[in-house]
Amino acid sequence: MTKAKSAVTKVTEEKIVEKVYWIRGMKVMLDKDLAEMYGVEVKVLNQAVKRRIQRFPDDFMFQLTEEEWNSLRSQFVTSKKGRGGTRYFPFAFTEQGVAMLSSVLNSDTAIEVNIQIIRVFTKMKALLFDNKELWHKIEKIERHLVQHDEEIKTIFEYLKKLLIQENKPRKAIGFPYPNKK
């Protein structure tokens, strides 16, 4: 198995879904999560992006505000500034930005991981379209309640993840027939 293939097998659909956040009304992924999936340092990913910044307009990539970052940080553990943690606000990449990353990180791993990520975004869109009414109701309730309680926000994030159906091969039911000769 090649290095690119082994890296890709570690990036599961579930792991990708866990790293998709809803910010500014868009589904995005953070630079640190993408760098981890591609097997590069965040600094390397961001340098490659900055070298080709014209490929990343605001609807492809944006930097989080302090308020957005603090809201996200409350959902996962990060160290404090000056103690080995993030010293800048992360970049968020939309689906189009993620697709564009494969052109600036021109490695087999980046291409393969990007294909997986784009497939997940596509599944999420299909699921949203198939369950549009339910999704709107959940988001309406979420907007109302999230303003009051972070725990409820976490519950809604898990509900959204549950809506994303994973395609796993099913086990055969019944008894196998003996080979006839």
Q: How many domains does the chain have?
A: 2
- The residue among 107, 126, 145 that closes a domain is 126
Q: Is 21 helix (H, G, I), strand (E, B) or coil?
A: strand
Q: How far apart are CA 55 and CA 123, in angstroms?
A: 25
Q: Is 180 helix (H, G, I), strand (E, B) or coil?
A: coil
- The residue among 126, 146, 174 that closes a domain is 126
Q: Let me know whether 137 and 117 are in one domain.
A: no
Note the pTM of the prediction, 2 decimals.
0.60
Q: Let me know whether 38 and 19 are in one domain.
A: yes
Q: Let me know whether 82 and 97 are in one domain.
A: yes
Q: Let me know whether 117 and 135 are in one domain.
A: no
Q: What is the CA radius of gyration of the chain?
A: 19
Q: Let me know whether 81 and 155 are in one domain.
A: no
pLDDT in tens, the chain (181 residues): 444 444 444 778 888 888 888 888 888 999 999 998 888 899 999 999 999 999 999 999 999 998 888 887 766 655 454 444 556 889 999 988 988 887 888 777 777 888 888 888 888 777 766 666 776 777 777 666 655 566 666 776 777 776 665 545 556 666 666 665 5
Tens of pLDDT, residues 61-92 = 999 998 888 887 766 655 454 444 556 889 99
Judge whether 91 lies within some domain. Answer: yes
Q: Let me know whether 14 and 82 are in one domain.
A: yes
| Structural domain harbouring 145 | 131-166
Inter-CA distances, 155 with 46, 49, 54, 83, 113, Å:
32, 34, 38, 31, 28
Q: Let me know whether 12 and 97 are in one domain.
A: yes
